[in-house]
Amino acid sequence: MLKTAKDFAKKPKKYFVELNKNISLQNITYNKKLLEKAYYFSLNRHNNQYRESGEPFASHPYAVANILIELKLDHQSIITALLHDTVEDGVATNEEIIENFGLEINQLVQGVTKLSKIQLPNSDVREASNFSKFILAICKDIRVLIIKLADRLHNMRTLKYVKNIARRQKIAKETLEVYAPLAGRVGFQVMKEELEELAFKEINNEAFQSIYKRTLFLRKQNKNFINETISNIKNIIDQNNEYEISGREKKIYSTWKKMLRKSISLEKVSDIYAFRIITNSINDCYKVLGIIHTTWTMIPDRFKDFISTPKPNGYQSIHTTVIGNNGTKMELQIKSKNMHQLAEYGVASHWIYKNSQDTKQIGEINKGTRWFQDVLDIIKTAGGPRELIEYSRMDMYSDNVFCFTPKGDVISLSKGETALDFAYAVHTNLGNSTIGAKINGNLTPLNTKVKNGDQIEIIRSKGTFPQQSWLNFCISGKARSQIRKFLRDHEEDEFEKLGKEILKKILLDVNKRATKKILTTLTKGFNYTSYRSFYVAIGRGEVLSESILNLLYQKNNKESLNKNNYKGLPIMGLKKGMAMHLAECCNPLLGESIVGILVEGKGIFVHLLNCSTLDRFSDFPELWYELMWHKNAGTFSQTSKINITLQNKVGSFHKVTSCIKKANANIVDLNVNKRSEDFFNIEVSLQVNSIKHLNDLIQFLKLEDCIYKVERK
C-alpha cells in the first residue's frame, strides 16, 4: 500500500515525478511523453474507482509499474502495467490503446487481460483448458508473465483489505499453487519467496505465527550471530578482494516445507541462517569454497554445485551447509555477481544485460523459459485434460537432480525419476526404443530411480516399442505424455484394421466393394477428413452398420441426407465440414432437445440440453452451438441403454425380450448387474429410431407384471 495512497488522485503530478525519478535511478531508457500519457490515461479512466482498502484504483497499476521498475524491465512493460486494467475493467478499448500507445503495448495489455480472465477452479476439464491457454499466452511474450506476477504481488501485499475470507483464501491458494512456482521457474527467487510468505500467512496463519515466534526466539538467543559470522567470513577469505557478504534468517514458508519434508518438529529446525558470498568470478567462487570447507566442518549431503550443473531456469551458485564455531548450522551460497543478478531478476536479466558483451550469460538466462517449451510439448501430446494437469503440475513443483550421458552432457531430471525418464529427457525416439539402461556402468532395471551425478547409458533396439506397464513407474510429464501418445496411436492402428474388416463385411452383404467412390461417399457423408479416421470410427463403434447402409441407400433419394443439408446425423446448425459426434455421456436421441459443444481438434459433440457435463462449459459460451434435429430426418437406428428391475421367476426374461420385439427394437447387448433371491437388475443396450420409440418401449415394459422398474440410463 502506498504511504500516502489516499491523496493519490489529489496529487497526480507528485506521483508522476516520483515515477520518473524511480525510472531514472534504474537507468532505464524510456519515452517520457508516452509514459506521462499512459500515467494520466490510467488515472482518468479509473477515476472514481476504489479498491477495498479505500485507495483510488489507479494506485494499483501505479504500484505494479514501480515493481517492474525495481526489476529494471523495459519501458513498454512499465507502460503496460499502468494500462493493464483499463481494458479488463471496460474503461478503455483495444482500439484506443493502439491509437494512443501503439501495437506492441496493446498486445501486452491483451496478454495480461487474457491471463486475468483465466481462473483455475477445481474442474479438471476447465482447469486444463485454462492452464493450456495460460501457458500459450505466456509463451508469446514472457513479459506478459512478468507483468502478471508483479500484478499478483501487489494484490497479495494488499490482500488483508479483501473482506471476503473465502475469496482471500482462494487468491492465496492460487498464488501458492500457480504464481509462486511460475516465479521460481523463470528465476524470480525474491518474488517467489515473498509470494509464498504472503500466501502462507493467509492459508495457514497459525503455522506462520508459530514459526515466526520461533524465529524471534532464536534471533534473541543469537543476537549478534549474523554480524559475527559475516565478520568471521571476511577474516578467513582473501581481504584484498571486495566480496559482498550478507546474511539472513530463512523464510518462514521455506522452514515449514522443510518440517513437512523431513517430518521434524519446529524445535529441531536448526539451520535457519543463510549467508551469501558474492565474488567477482567463477574461479573466486571455488577458491572461497575451499577456504570455507577448510575452516568449518561441511555436512556432506548438503553440498550442491549449481555452477557446473545449473538449474533448468539458469540459476547458478554453490550451496553448502557447515557447522560454525558455536555448533550452529548455517547455509552458505557462493556465486558471482552475474549469477546473483540472474538469481534476483530471473528472465528479466535479459533487459539488464541487453547491452552486455557477455553473450554466454544471456544464453544461460534464456534457459529459464525452457520449462514453458516442455509444457507446450505436453499440451500437444496430452490425451485429455487430466493428463495435461497431471504432467504440468508434476513438472512445476519438482526439485531437480542432475545426471550425465556417456559423453558428459548434463540432463536435468526431477527427484524420483527413473532411467526411463532419463531416456525420454534425452530424446523421445530414444525413450520409445529403450530396452535397458546402465547406471555408472552397471545394468539396472528401467524403473531404477536416478541420483545426482549418475552417468546413464541407454540401451535401445529398433524393434522395441513403449509398453503400458511403463506408466506404472515413469514420473516425468514428458515421458508419460509420449508413452500415452504412442499407445493411443498404436490403438488407432488396431481400430483401423478392425474397421476395414467390418466395412468389408457390411459391403459384401449388399454385394458392394470398398471402391474409391464408395469410400469417398461414406467419408464425406459422415464428416471424416480421411479414410483412416473413418475406419478408426467404425472399429470403435462410433459409426454403425445401419448408418452406413442408410447413407448408401438414400444417396439417390430426394429425401436423402445430402439433399436435406446434413451428413451422417440429421442435425441442423453446423458449419460445413465440421465433424460431429453423439456424446456418450447422455446418448441423445432423435426428437430430444440438443446442444453442441466444440472440442478443439475433434469437432462438435452433441449433448442433451439437460446433460450434467454441460456445467463444465458454462463459462465458455464461444464453444456452444445451437442444434436441432432435421424436420425430415425420417428414422434411423441409434443406440440407447435402459436399466430394468424384474422379478426373479421363470419367464421374466422372455417377457422382456417379447416386449422389445413387439416394439420393433433390437437388443445389442444385455448385462446382468445384480441378482438376488427376489429380483434381477439388468442393463439392456437397444437400437431404437427416436426418443418416441424408446418411450413407447418403456411404457410397454412397465405394463408387464413381472417388471418392477424401468428407467433410461
Give the model's pLDDT for residue 155: 93
269-273, 284-288, 526-530: least confidently modelled range: 269-273
- Would you give the DSSP letter of residue 449? B
Give the model's pLDDT for residue 2: 47
**What's the rounded Cα separation, in Å, for the pair 193 and 549?**
65
Q: What share of the chain is helix, strand, coil (3-state, %, to 5)?
A: 50, 15, 30
Average of per-residue pLDDT across 12-24: 88
Mean pLDDT, the chain, rounded, equals 79
pLDDT surpassing 70 at residue 137: no
Which amino acids are annotated catalytic?
Answer: 88-89
Q: How confident is the model at residue 555 (pLDDT cuts 50, 70, 90)?
A: low
The ranges of the chain annotated as CATH 3.30.70.260 are 638-712
Kind of pairing, strands 329-336 and 318-323? Answer: antiparallel
Q: Which set of grid coordinates corresponds to residue 353?
A: 544485460
Q: What is the DSSP annotation of 103-117?
A: HHHHHHHHHHHHHHH
Q: How confident is the model at residue 156 (pLDDT cuts 50, 70, 90)?
A: very high
Percentage of residues of the chain with pLDDT beyond 90: 13
Of 267, 155, 179, the closest CA to residue 221 belongs to: 267
> 356 to each of 337, 559, 685, how far by Cα in Å?
14, 74, 71
**Owner of C-alpha cell 490482500:** 159
The ranges of the chain annotated as CATH 1.10.3210.10 are 5-202
Query: Does residue 211 contact residue 178 with C-beta atoms inside 8 Å?
Result: no
pLDDT surpassing 70 at residue 129: no
Considering the domain 5-202 in this protein, what is its CATH number?
Answer: 1.10.3210.10
**What's the rounded Cα separation, in Å, for the pair 543 and 541?**
5
Give pLDDT tens digits for 616-645: 877 677 788 888 887 766 667 788 889 998
Q: How confident is the model at residue 277 (pLDDT cuts 50, 70, 90)?
A: very high
117-131, 284-298, 479-493, 696-710: least confidently modelled range: 117-131
Reduced to 3 states, what is the DSSP secondary structure of residue 413?
strand
Give the model's pLDDT for residue 581: 83
Q: What phi, psi does 255 have (nearest 5°)?
A: -65, -40
Give pLDDT tens digits for 209-267: 888 888 888 777 777 888 888 888 888 886 666 788 988 888 888 888 878 877 777 66
Give the model's pLDDT for residue 565: 39
Percentage of residues of the chain with pLDDT beyond 70: 81
Q: How confident is the model at residue 554 (pLDDT cuts 50, 70, 90)?
A: low
Helices (H), 530-605: 531-540, 545-553
Average of per-residue pLDDT across 704-713: 86
Q: Which set of grid coordinates corresponds to residue 506?
A: 457390411
Of 476, 460, 480, the closest CA to residue 401 belongs to: 476
Give the model's pLDDT for residue 333: 92
- Would you give the DSSP letter of residue 442? E
Q: What angle do CA 652, 657, 660 make, to 5 degrees?
A: 130
Helices (H), 237-348: 252-262, 282-295, 337-345
Per DSSP, what are the bridge partners of residue 646?
A: 680, 707
Where do the DSSP E strands lie in 6-146?
none
305: left (phi over 0), alpha (psi -120 to 50) or beta: beta
CB atoms under 10 Å from CB of 334, counted, come to: 24
Give pLDDT tens digits for 38-97: 999 999 888 888 888 888 888 999 999 999 998 888 889 999 999 988 888 888 888 999
Considering the domain 207-352 in this protein, what is its CATH number?
Answer: 3.30.460.10
Of 145, 97, 195, the closest CA to residue 371 belongs to: 145
Query: Does residue 265 contact residue 244 with C-beta atoms inside 8 Å?
Result: no
Give the model's pLDDT for residue 201: 93
pLDDT surpassing 50 at residue 562: no
Give the model's pLDDT for residue 320: 92
Q: How confident is the model at residue 196 (pLDDT cuts 50, 70, 90)?
A: very high
Give the model's pLDDT for residue 362: 30
Give the model's pLDDT for residue 515: 81
Query: Long-range contacts made by residues 525-530, C-beta under 8 angstroms, separation at least 24?
Result: 525/551, 525/561, 525/562, 525/567, 525/568, 526/551, 526/567, 526/568, 527/567, 527/568, 527/577, 527/578, 527/579, 527/580, 527/603, 528/579, 529/579
Record the pTM. Answer: 0.54
Give pLDDT tens digits for 579-600: 788 888 888 888 888 888 888 7
Half-sphere exposure (CA, 13 Å, Cβ side) for 369? 19
Give pLDDT tens digits for 516-551: 888 888 888 888 888 888 888 888 777 887 778 777
Give the model's pLDDT for residue 397: 46
| Residue bearing the bigger pLDDT, 125 or 710 | 710
The ranges of the chain annotated as CATH 3.30.460.10 are 207-352
Q: Topology of domain 638-712, per CATH?
A: Alpha-Beta Plaits (3.30.70)
- Would you give the DSSP letter of residue 535? H
Average of per-residue pLDDT across 164-170: 89
